[in-house]
Structure 1
């Protein structure tokens, strides 16, 4: 019997600004909190709330985890296979 796999996860990519923010995180606690938030986004990219703006580009969304104290601004590609992180707050 073939093994059942869970839902396909989106790949996480970082904008240049977010990658620079990521480099500045040195605390293991903060990295762990960020990792947990990124897993949530990869499983369900629609979990965040839309940020009002123009409709000319991809819809910017915000995910906030109040328990881990993480805020991520991101957008999802058209095929919903990649989540692009634009801003990180830990």
Structure 2
């Protein structure tokens, strides 16, 4: 008999501009910090604060990890299965 499954994590996708930013990150410490931040967001997509309220389209959110010095702007798809990263700052 198996135990209960942990909550399913959302898949992370990157906008074109975020993918370009990701390619420019070369330091191992920065990559590790970003990875940890993305795991936090994938486990709990609602953790970020809303950036601006609007009625059309998905809600843009901002998550800042002060310890890792990482800021990510993202939105979550309607079914909460995909997090689309729009901006990365490490």
TM-score normalised to structure 2 length: 0.97
SS at match of 1:40: helix
TM-fit CA distance, 1:9: 0.4
SS at match of 1:86: strand
CA deviation vs aligned residue, 1:16-66 (integer Å, no higher than 9, x gap): 000000000000000000000000000000000001142211100000000
Structural mapping, 1:4-83, within 5 Å = 4-83=4-83
Distance in 2 of aligned mates of 1:57 and 1:40: 23
Residue correspondences, number? 90
User: Runs of 4 or more off by more than 4 Å in structure 1?
Assistant: none
Which blocks of at least 5 consecutive residues in structure 2 are unaligned? none
TM-score normalised to structure 1 length: 0.97
The aligned residue for residue 86 of structure 1 is 86
TM-fit CA distance, 1:4: 2.7
Which blocks of at least 5 consecutive residues in structure 1 are unaligned? none
